[in-house]
A and B are shown apart, each in its own frame.
Chain A
Amino acid sequence: MSPELRQGLKYLIGGMMVLISIIPFYVLLYLAMNTPAGSMFKGLFLLPDFYFTNFVDAWNGSKLGRAMLNSTIITCLAVTLIVFVASAAGYSIARYRSRLNLTIFNTLLACMMIPAIIITVPLYSLMKSIDGINTYWAMILLTAANALPLSVFLYASFIRTLPKEVEESAVLDGCTYFTAFYRVTFHFLRPVTSAVVILTGLGIWNNYGQAVFFLQSQEMRTIPLAISMFFQTYGAKWNLMAAAALIGLAPAVLVFLLFQRYFIKGITAGALKG
């Protein structure tokens, strides 16, 4: 094969990969900007009508504003909780080998294999008995708990790669190992913290399996719930459905595009240290 042909083939394959991944998004964009009256698809190459009223109608009809607020509150607070609880746990596990810490770590690791759906039923009765249904705090605690195994694992394996001198010099200066963690070590954890924030934040933002049970009232709905509700009511109006879906997926896409570097680093760091 000549080098030119080779190069051309490379571009062809790369282009195909991009097309396969991007076409559904383009179809969505096209539908979302279609006038309600226009027939669905025209021609092979889709040119949208640029009818932006859909977005306004979808936003109002689906109460996406409220849903976005709910999703933001739950995701941000849960992720904050995860970072504090998991980094502390990871530090203790990585630096202090005791039977207690080893048991905790192995328990968490084993539970990484258990999808959350397994415990839905007993969790429901627990949530009922603590009055946690339709509340932010219970949903935050619940989603944070679900994300702990992965987060503790990421923190512990990252802290193991840091030299002990990091906190030992602080201890010589009069810190305890506990205070040294917050004064010194924590600041070295930025790479793994960004990975944890992104990975767990995204999972909680997209959570549907738990939200559908524990956030049933309309005011508490998160984005996936609001979108699925909207789809069930507006089934025939594709332009509005597409606009709602587009608004619903936009925040995750934006965050991904802005923090792409951390995403890829975080996922690979998390994956390959195992």
Chain B
Amino acid sequence: MRIWIHKINANLHRYMALPAILLFGLFFLYPLAQGIGISLTDSNGMTTPNFVGLQNFIDFFADDRARNDVRITILFALGSAPLLNLFGLLYALFLDRGLPGKGFVRAVVYLPAVISPLIMGYVWYFILQPERGYLAHVLKEIGLGFLDVNWLGESSSALVVLIAVNVWQYVGMTMIVYLAGLQGIPADLYEAATIDGASRWGALRYVTLPLLYPAIKINVVTNIIGSLSVFEIIVALTDGGPGYATESLSIYILRMLYGSFTGYSTAVALILFLIILIPVVLFLRITRKSEYEL
């Protein structure tokens, strides 16, 4: 008996990952697998679901609103992800050059990222409301009152505003990652580059950016995933409107779910998954190549 217990104890460290995979399996992998099954049915939460094959997916691509939402989701990501990376990198390059009070600036810029995007969206609502909002007030005060447009109510500008708010909230996140990447680059590399006659732009292009690859990679991937599954900020600011002008796929999924189109909304969720997976995998493929070239 004692030997048995000892034997189990001696091997226990091999199986210490099991609780993690059991918990994750029950609340993530199992629903994920089940979702694939549900997406092939006309399940609606009430009547017995029938197997309908790929009908839900066919319906999705035949539906104008669904195609519009794919477009909105991709447009949001195309605006948001590059801007987050650009501004995050510029902020980091600027702070990395040394500024008294650098820690303070870094903390303030990062601050919005720790707050729920839903609450942050409501805060922006106070600023962006036409006539009553702070922006409208400032524009009036400086004599530019005619610029006070209902930014969130016009389908031409609502998405742009959402992108701007998202970039504002999360620029600190990309900045911090880039800053850490920059601090990992030894200073003598810059010296060497300068001695070799590199201009400042040359040093950035041939020393900084290649060595920043790990940081760029993590930022681009997180931003692709984050912006393609955008949700809370839209709920708080436009709720998908006006009309469907800012309805992202994640909002569409939840609305279909509330409408009891269970099978269909699961199919849409899987489509969203593919829309996220494809650019991420492509990006990782491309960067893997360039890292070997270094």
Contact partner of B105 (CB less than 8 A), chosen from A17, A44, A126, is A17
On chain A, the residues within 8 Å of B285 by CB distance are none
User: If the complex has contacts A17-B105, A268-B176, A268-B177, are A176 and B123 also in contact, measured as CB distance less than 8 A?
Assistant: no
Residue of B nearest to A42 (CB): B137
A1 at the interface (CB under 8 A from B): no
A267 to B92, CA, bound (A): 15
User: If the complex has contacts A122-B34, A144-B23, are A24 and B177 also in contact, measured as CB distance less than 8 A?
Assistant: no
A111 to B280, CA, bound (A): 13
Q: Which of B38, B122, B184, B250 has the most CB of A within 10 A?
A: B122
A260 to B104, CA, bound (A): 11
A160 at the interface (CB under 8 A from B): no
**Which residues of B in the span 184-226 have a Cβ within 8 Å of any Cβ on A?**
184, 214-215, 217-219, 221, 225
Interchain residue pairs A-B with the least CB separation, the first 9: A268-B180, A145-B27, A89-B20, A92-B16, A177-B13, A178-B12, A206-B116, A115-B229, A122-B31
Residue of A nearest to B226 (CB): A115
Contact partner of B225 (CB less than 8 A), chosen from A27, A115, A123, A252, is A115
Q: Say whether B119 contacts A224, CB under 8 Å.
A: yes
On chain A, the residues within 8 Å of B52 by CB distance are none
On chain A, the residues within 8 Å of B176 by CB distance are 264, 267-268
Interface of B is mostly: helix
Q: Say whether A122 contacts B35, CB under 8 Å.
A: yes
A-B contact count (CB 8 A): 271
Q: Within the complex, what minimum Cβ distance (angstroms) separates B27 from chain A?
A: 4
Contact partner of A27 (CB less than 8 A), chosen from B23, B126, B254, is B126
A13 at the interface (CB under 8 A from B): yes
Which stretch in A48-56, A189-197, A242-250 binds the other chain?
A: A242-250
A135 at the interface (CB under 8 A from B): no
A126 to B31, CA, bound (A): 7
Q: Say whether B101 contacts A14, CB under 8 Å.
A: yes
Apart from A249-B123, A257-B107: 16 A-B pairs, beta carbons within 8 A: A14-B105, A44-B141, A85-B20, A88-B17, A114-B273, A119-B31, A122-B266, A141-B26, A148-B23, A152-B17, A177-B13, A178-B13, A227-B118, A228-B118, A267-B180, A268-B176
Q: Say whether A121 contacts B177, CB under 8 Å.
A: no
Q: Say whether A272 contacts B184, CB under 8 Å.
A: yes
A188 at the interface (CB under 8 A from B): no
Contact partner of B215 (CB less than 8 A), chosen from A24, A40, A95, A271, is A271
**Which residues of A in the span 190-233 have a Cβ within 8 Å of any Cβ on B?**
202, 205-206, 208-209, 223-224, 227-228, 231
A119 to B176, CA, bound (A): 30
A77 at the interface (CB under 8 A from B): no
1/0 per residue, CB under 8 A from A, across B115-157: the answer is: 1111110111011000010100110011000000000000000
B168 at the interface (CB under 8 A from A): yes
Chain A contacts to B: CB under 8 angstroms: 10-11, 13-14, 17-18, 20-22, 24-25, 27-28, 31, 40-41, 43-44, 85-86, 88-89, 91-93, 95-96, 98, 100-101, 104-105, 107-108, 111, 113-115, 117-126, 141-142, 144-146, 148-149, 152, 176-179, 181, 202, 205-206, 208-209, 223-224, 227-228, 231, 238, 241-242, 245, 248-249, 252-253, 255-257, 260, 263-264, 267-268, 271-272, 274
Q: Within the complex, what minimum Cβ distance (angstroms) separates A101 from chain B?
A: 5
Contact partner of B20 (CB less than 8 A), chosen from A20, A104, A125, A263, is A104
User: If the complex has contacts A14-B101, A21-B111, A27-B127, are A117 and B16 also in contact, measured as CB distance less than 8 A?
Assistant: no
On chain A, the residues within 8 Å of B180 by CB distance are 264, 267-268, 271-272
A107 to B216, CA, bound (A): 24
Q: Say whether A17 contacts B17, CB under 8 Å.
A: no
Q: Within the complex, what minimum Cβ distance (angstroms) separates A39 from chain B?
A: 10
A14 to B124, CA, bound (A): 22
Interface of A is mostly: helix
Q: Say whether B127 contacts A100, CB under 8 Å.
A: no
Q: Say whether B116 contacts A27, CB under 8 Å.
A: no
Residue of B nearest to A269 (CB): B180
A268 to B110, CA, bound (A): 13
Q: Say whether B13 contacts A121, CB under 8 Å.
A: no
Q: Which of A122, A231, A241 has the most CB of B within 10 A?
A: A122
Q: Say whether B134 contacts A113, CB under 8 Å.
A: no
On chain A, the residues within 8 Å of B107 by CB distance are 256-257, 260
Q: Say whether A123 contacts B276, CB under 8 Å.
A: no
Q: Say whether B266 contacts A21, CB under 8 Å.
A: no
Q: Say whether B272 contacts A256, CB under 8 Å.
A: no
User: If the complex has contacts A92-B15, A121-B266, are A17 and B32 also in contact, measured as CB distance less than 8 A?
Assistant: no
Q: Within the complex, what minimum Cβ distance (angstroms) separates B150 from chain A?
A: 16
Q: Within the complex, what minimum Cβ distance (angstroms) separates B57 from chain A?
A: 15
Q: Say whether B269 contacts A118, CB under 8 Å.
A: yes
